[in-house]
Amino acid sequence: ALLALAVTMALLMMARGSAFKARWLWPVAPVLTVTLVLWSARAVHALADAGRGRWPGRALWGVALAMPLLAVGVSALRWWEPELNAQRCRECWTDRPAETLSGALHQRHGPDLRVIAGDTHLAGILVAASPRVRAWAAPQSALPPPQGFAQGRANCVLAWVSLEPEAEPLPALRGLQQAHALGEGPLSASWPLRHAPQRRIWLHSQRVAPAACASASR
């Protein structure tokens, strides 16, 4: 358990993680549960060998039985987590339909695209959903764009998502929008969230001059 925790902390430090999430400890939880059960079993045998009576042993056996039940119970609660999260999420990362968003961008702006996304998650799922998309996240300006992003003939597109039909792009995108607009406004479309159909996720996109994508490498 300590080794798993140390590995998790090392990975977080290497990735420069700053916003701690409880789910980061999920790799540690199963190992910790098994460790506690084994420790309880060893303690029970040690008490029995020492002739310490029944009650300490029964208490430790209770702990040994409670830990697996607790692990199963927590895992069962995660069955409803996506639906509960979809009711109140702000970014709704797990409810973004990657293939649908990618298909809508292709339908609007062409088969080969260079996308400047409003966040890193959107950039990642668009690339994963279509091999004909190269994406770069404007808020992560310190990271270089993909190879060949600044050059090429593929259309340059700004894209961002929101939970409202009217949503201004982030400041990083707004500057590019104002400097490289082609005279056409943003296009918007929406789809219901998979786990909360009463809510909708909106995709906004706007084609801009190729100079916008070229500026990403500066």
Which pLDDT tens digit goes with each residue over 84-101? 888 988 888 888 999 999
pLDDT at residue number 26? 63
Residue count (the chain): 218
* pLDDT for 5 beyond 70: no
80 Cβ contact list (under 8 Å, min separation 6): none
Closest by alpha carbon to 191, among 128, 90, 98?
98
CB of 132 within 8 A of CB of 91?
Answer: no
Contacts of 179 (CB under 8 A, 6+ apart): 212
- When pLDDT is averaged across residues 98-127 and rounded to a whole number, the result is 95
Structure tokens at 175: 């500057």
pLDDT at 63 over 90: no
Compute the distance between CA of residue 126 and CA of residue 134 in angstroms, rounded to an integer.
8
pLDDT of residue 117: 96
Write down the pLDDT at residue 153.
85
Crossing angle between the packed helical segments 54-77 and 29-50, to the nearest 10 degrees: 170
Q: Which of 23-32, 65-74, 86-95, 112-121 has the highest mean pLDDT?
A: 112-121
* pLDDT score of 93: 86
Q: CB of 156 within 8 A of CB of 205?
A: no
| C-alpha 146: how far from chain center | 20
Residue bearing the bigger pLDDT, 173 or 152? 173
Q: Which two tokens stand for residue 35?
A: 């460790």
Which strands make up the sheet holding 187-192, listed edge to edge? 133-137, 113-117, 155-162, 200-208, 187-192
For residue 12, what pLDDT band results from cuts at 50, 70 and 90? low
Q: What are 137's two structure tokens?
A: 């996240």
Which run of H or E residues covers position 120?
helix 120-129
| Confidence band for 79, pLDDT divided at 50, 70 and 90 | confident
Closest to 209 (Cα-Cα) out of 185, 179, 187, 189: 179
DSSP state of 25: G
